[in-house]
Amino acid sequence: MALYAQVIIDIAHTNVDRVFAYSIPAEEAIEVGQRVLVPFGRGNTAKEGYVIALCEQVDVPKERIKPILRKAEGFAALLPEQVRLASWMAQRYHCLMVDALRLMIPAQIRGDRVHEKTLGVAVLTEQAATLQTVKAALYTKGGACKAPVQKQVLELLEQMPEGMAVTDLYAFLPGCNSAVAALKKKGALIIKDVPVRRTPYKQMAPGTETRPVLTDEQAEAFHAIEQAMDEPRPGQTSFLLHGATGSGKTEVYLCAIEHALQKGQGAIALVPEISLTPQMVQRFRSRLGEPVAVLHSRLSAGERYDEWRRIRNGQARVVIGPRSALFAPVQNVGLIVIDEEHEQSYRNEQRPQFESAEVARKRLDEQNGVLVLGSATPSVTTYYQCVQGKLRLLEMPTRVGKMGLPKVVVTDMREELKRGNRTVFSGVLYEAMQRTLERGEQMMLFINRRGYSTFVQCRGCGYVVQCEHCDVSMTLHKSSRGDFLRCHYCGQQKAIPPLCPVCGKPYLKQFGMGTQLVEEQVRQHFPQARILRMDYDTTQGKDAHLNILQSFGRREADVLIGTQMIAKGLDFGGVTLVGVVAADASLYLPDPRSAERTFQLIMQVAGRAGRDQLPGQVVVQTYHPDHFAIDTAARQDYKAFYRQEIQNRQIAQFPPFANFVRLLFRGQAEQAVRAAKECHGLLLQCLKEHNIVPLQLEMGYAPIARIKDETRTQILLKLPSGPQADAALDALYTLFYRRTWPHCTLTMETNPSNMV
Ligand code: ADP
Ligand code: ZN
C-alpha cells in the first residue's frame, strides 16, 4: 500500500501548479485519479485536489506532510490514462496541469455542486412479522377498519414488490400523506432513496435499426479501418475519410463503432457543434442502443453528471459530443471519429489551446487505437498530411443511391445590378424559389451574417455608425419593439440616430444584409411561404436548435434561413433548393484561410440539397464568379481547389509551410503598447538564441484596435516550419504564455483561427 499521494491542488494559478505530497490515512484506499480534500496553505483550509500519483517515499521531512482529509467522491473521478493525457497536454500546450485535469470532469462536481439524483420509493418491510402486527392493529376487535387509507396503501404496495415512488403514491391515493408517514413510523414501510438517471434526448428511444448493405465504396473504407483496428501497425492507424456529402460517411463510422464494441473497446465520436449532436444521437441510438452517452455544455448539470457517471462506470461505451467529449472517461478507447474534421470548433481557443485531432491521436496511442477524420472538404493542412503519408486516405466520391451531386449555378450579382435588380435574389434564385414552393418542396437560404443589415452609413459624409466601446460598425437589428443597432462584439445596443452625428444630415442608410433582411424579403416576395430562421439570435433557448430543426424536418416550414449553423451536416430529404445568398462574405477577410473557408462553406451548404429522392439545385450568388474558390466549389471539385490552394500557400509561405504566431495584448492603451514593445525585445532575443530568422515580424495594433474599451496591440510572427523553429516556438511559449503582465492580458496563439 502506498503511503503518500502526489496531489495537484484545484486552483488555477502558476504558483500552485506543481505536485504537493500528502500522506494517506491508514484506513483510506486511494487510487490515482481520486479527487480528495486536503488541507492547503497557511490556514490549512480544505481544498479539492487530484491524486496523480502514489508513492512510498517523499523527499520532504515527514513532519511537514499533512494527511489527506477525505475523498471527494467514493470513486476515482479520473482514469489513470486521463491523468497521463493531462500531463501530456500540460507539456504540449503549455497549460497548467489543473487546466488539463479540469477538462476531464463535469465542471459542477468540483465544489460539490452536483450529485446523483434520487427518488424516494416506498416499499413494504421485508419483516413479515412486523407487517402482520401492523396490519392486525388496523382493525377493531369487531373487525371494522380504523384506518382505511393505511389499509389501501398496504394493499397497493403488496402488489408492487419493486415499490412505488412516493410522489406517485401521493398522486394515486390523494391525501395518503399522513397514512404513509404513520406506516413508516410503525416500520411497515420503508422509504428508499433510489438513484434516477437524468437522460438527455429522452425522446430518442433506442431502436433496432439494422445495418444497410454497404456500398462498394463504404465497404472498402470500412474494411481498411476494420483491419487497422484488428491488426494495428504503428503509423498506419490514422485515416482521412474524404467522402462527398451524402456518400454515407456516418454509416462507415457506425460500422467502425460497432466493431469496436464487439472487440470490447470504447469509442468516441466528435461532432463540430452542439446543434448537430441530436441528429447524431438519434442515428447512433437507433443503431447501437443504450451504450451511447452524450456530453456537451448545453445539458443540464444533472444530465451531464449522470451521463458522465454512466461512462465512468462502463455502462456507456460510446460517447458523442463536441470536442469536450474527447475527455470522457471511456475505458479502453479503441476508436475516435472526428466528423467534419475541417471545422474550426475542433480547436480550443481558451486555455488550454489544443487541436482535437492531435489530442485524439495521443489518447489512442496507448493502445494503438484507430483515428478516423471525416469530411467532404478536408482542411488543406489535413489533406497535405495525407499527401505526405502521415494519414491514410479513404475516398468515397459517390453519393449513396441514385442521386448525383446537386447541380450548382453561379450567378454574377454585378450583372443583376446592371439589369436593375435591387433585391437580394438573382433572377435565377428567384425563379428556383418560386418553382420549389409551387412543388411543395423545401429550401435553405444561407447568409453568413445575422441581424438585418451589416452597417449604417451616412450617404452625405461617409460616416459609419460605430460602437462606442469597440472599433467596429454596429449592425442593424429589427424587433417587434422597433429597430436598433447592436454591436456584435460587446452586445451594446442603441437607437438609430435620426441625423448623422457628424454632418447632421438625414442621410443615414443601411448597407449589407443579414438573416433578418433575407427573411423580410422572402416574406415580401413569397407571402405564402412558411419561414424559419436559425441564427445566434433565434437559438438562445436550451432546445432552440433542436426545435427549429425538428420543425423543419417535419416540414412545418418551406424555407429555412440561417447562418453557418445550417451549413453543416444536416440531412433533410425534402430540401431540393439551396441558395447561397452572398458567397463572398468570407472571401476577403484578413485571414490566410479565407479562400479555404469560402470553398468549404459553399461545398457544405450545397451538400444539403437533394439528399433524398428528389434532385437538388444550388444557386450561388457572388460578385466574384471567377475566384478559384468559388469556381471550384461550384464544380464541387475538391482536388482542383486543393491543388491551387496548396500552391498559393507554398508561394505565400502560409500554413502548413509556415506557422503564424500571434501575441495579442489587451488593456489600457499605454499598457498594451508598452507590453507589446517589451515582448518584442524579448522575442527578438529568443529567436536569436535559437538561430531563427523569422519570415515575418510585425508589431502594431490588432485589426480591431479596440473591443469593450480595451486597446488591442499585437505582435505577428511567421516562422518557417521544421524542428528548429518548433523548438524556438516552444521557448517562446515558455517565455510568454504562462507569464502575467501587469494591467494587460496577453494571449498567444499559433495559427489563430481568428485574426481580428
Ligand atoms: P454523409 O455522412 O457522408 O453525409 P450519411 O451517412 O448521412 O452521409 O448518408 C446519407 C444518406 O444515405 C443517409 O440518409 C443514410 O441513411 C443513407 N445511407 C448511407 N449508407 C447507405 C447504404 N449503404 N444503403 C442505403 N442507404 C444508405
Ligand atoms: Zn461594442
Tell me which of 242, 253, 394, 400 to substitute to probe ligand 1's pocket, judged by most ligand atoms within 8 Å of the beta carbon.
400
Q: Does 265 or 115 have the greater pLDDT score?
A: 265
**What confidence category does residue 328 fall into, taking pLDDT thresholds of 50, 70 and 90?**
very high
Label each residue of 387-446 as H, E or C.
HCCCCEEEEECCCCCCCCCCEEEEEEHHHHHHCCCCCCCCHHHHHHHHHHHHCCCEEEEE
Distance 599 CA to ligand 2 centre (A): 30
Q: What is the pLDDT of residue 562?
A: 93
Distance 476 CA to ligand 2 centre (A): 13
Distance 106 CA to ligand 1 centre (A): 33
Cα separation, 666 vs 745, in Å, equals 5
The span from the first CA to the last CA of the chain, in angstroms, equals 55
Residues 247, 249, 254: CA angle, nearest 5 degrees: 140
Q: What is the pLDDT of residue 323?
A: 93
Q: What is the pLDDT of residue 197?
A: 76
Q: In 3D, which of 48, 81, 63, 58 has the Cα closest to residue 5? A: 58
Q: What is the pLDDT of residue 568?
A: 65
Q: Give tens-digit pLDDT for 599-638.
A: 998 888 887 776 667 778 899 999 999 999 999 999 989 9
Starting from the CA of residue 241, give the closest ligand. 1
Q: Give tens-digit pLDDT for 729-741.
A: 999 998 887 677 7
Distance 473 CA to ligand 2 centre (A): 8
Q: In 3D, which of 712, 607, 605 has the Cα closest to residue 662? A: 712
Question: What would you measure as the largest C-alpha separation in the chain, in angstroms?
Answer: 105
Q: In 3D, which of 671, 674, 669 has the Cα closest to residue 744? A: 671
Q: What is the pLDDT of residue 422?
A: 86
**Ligand 1 atom closest to residue 214's alpha carbon, by position in its atom list:** 23
In short, whether 247's Cβ falls inside 6 Å of ligand 1 is yes
Cα separation, 305 vs 321, in Å, equals 14
| Residues forming beta bridges with residue 562, ordered by sequence position | 446, 534
Q: In 3D, which of 360, 365, 379 has the Cα closest to residue 319? A: 360
Q: What is the pLDDT of residue 205?
A: 64
Q: Which three cell numbers stand for residue 41?
A: 496553505
Q: What is the pLDDT of residue 261?
A: 94
Task: Compute the average pLDDT of residues 533-548.
Answer: 87
Cα separation, 141 vs 559, in Å, equals 76
pLDDT tops 60 at residue 569: no
Cα separation, 105 vs 274, in Å, equals 18
Helix ranges, 568-667 (H)? 594-606, 628-634, 638-652
- CB atoms under 10 Å from CB of 205, counted, come to 10
Starting from the CA of residue 488, give the closest ligand. 2
In short, whether 612's Cβ falls inside 6 Å of ligand 1 is no
In short, whether 195's Cβ falls inside 6 Å of ligand 1 is no
Chain centroid to Cα 222, Å, comes to 26
Q: What is the pLDDT of residue 311?
A: 94
Starting from the CA of residue 287, give the closest ligand. 1
Task: Compute the average pLDDT of residues 695-705.
Answer: 93
Task: Compute the average pLDDT of residues 568-597.
Answer: 83
**What confidence category does residue 281 fall into, taking pLDDT thresholds of 50, 70 and 90?**
confident
Q: Give tens-digit pLDDT for 452-505.
A: 988 899 998 999 999 999 999 999 999 888 899 999 999 999 999 989 999 999
Distance 1 CA to ligand 1 centre (A): 53
Starting from the CA of residue 396, give the closest ligand. 1
pLDDT tops 70 at residue 206: no
> What secondary structure does DSSP assign to 64-117, as a single string?
GPEEP-EESSSS-SS-HHHHHHHHHHHHHTT--HHHHHHTTS-GGGGGG----E
- Measured in residues, the chain has a length of 756
Distance 350 CA to ligand 2 centre (A): 21
* pLDDT, mean over the chain: 90
Task: Compute the average pLDDT of residues 290-305.
Answer: 83
Q: Give tens-digit pLDDT for 140-180.
A: 888 888 888 899 899 888 888 888 888 888 888 888 889 99
Task: Compute the average pLDDT of residues 2-17.
Answer: 90
Q: Give tens-digit pLDDT for 407-433.
A: 889 999 999 989 998 889 999 999 999
Among 691-700, 707-716, 745-754, where is mean pLDDT lowest?
745-754
Q: What is the pLDDT of residue 277?
A: 77
Distance 487 CA to ligand 2 centre (A): 5
Tell me which of 247, 571, 611 to substitute to probe ligand 1's pocket, judged by most ligand atoms within 8 Å of the beta carbon.
571
Q: What is the pLDDT of residue 666?
A: 94
Q: Does 338 or 553 have the greater pLDDT score?
A: 338
Q: Give tens-digit pLDDT for 521-531.
A: 999 999 999 99
Q: What is the pLDDT of residue 451?
A: 92
Q: Which value, to the nearest 10 degrees, does the dihedral of the CA atoms of residues 103, 107, 109, 112 take?
A: 140
Instruction: Provide, rounded to the nearest whole percent, the portion of the chain with pLDDT above 70.
Output: 97
Cα separation, 270 vs 318, in Å, equals 11
The H helix count followed by the E strand count for the chain is 21, 33
**What confidence category does residue 116 fall into, taking pLDDT thresholds of 50, 70 and 90?**
confident
In short, whether 243's Cβ falls inside 6 Å of ligand 1 is yes
**Ligand 1 atom closest to residue 213's alpha carbon, by position in its atom list:** 23
**What confidence category does residue 368 fall into, taking pLDDT thresholds of 50, 70 and 90?**
very high
Q: What is the pLDDT of residue 204?
A: 67
Instruction: Render the burial of 275-293: b for 16+ CB within 10 Å, e for the rest.
Output: bbbbbbbebbbbbbeebbb
In short, whether 246's Cβ falls inside 6 Å of ligand 1 is yes
Kind and range of the H or E element at 178?
A: helix 177-185
What are the Cα distances from residue 151, in Å, to 134, 184, 281? 10, 13, 46
Task: Compute the average pLDDT of residues 174-188.
Answer: 90
Are the CB atoms for 614 and 253 separated by under 8 Å? no
Distance 612 CA to ligand 1 centre (A): 10
Q: In 3D, which of 710, 454, 701, 736 has the Cα closest to residue 582? A: 454
Helix axes 249-262, 277-288, angle to 10 degrees: 50
**What confidence category does residue 670 fall into, taking pLDDT thresholds of 50, 70 and 90?**
very high
Q: What is the pLDDT of residue 292?
A: 87
**What confidence category does residue 671 fall into, taking pLDDT thresholds of 50, 70 and 90?**
very high
Starting from the CA of residue 493, give the closest ligand. 2
Label each residue of 234-254 as H, E or C.
CCCCEEEEEECCCCCHHHHHH
Cα separation, 707 vs 9, in Å, equals 34
In short, whether 464's Cβ falls inside 6 Å of ligand 1 is no
Residues 750, 752, 756: CA angle, nearest 5 degrees: 140
Residue nearest to atom 15 of ligand 1 (CA): 248
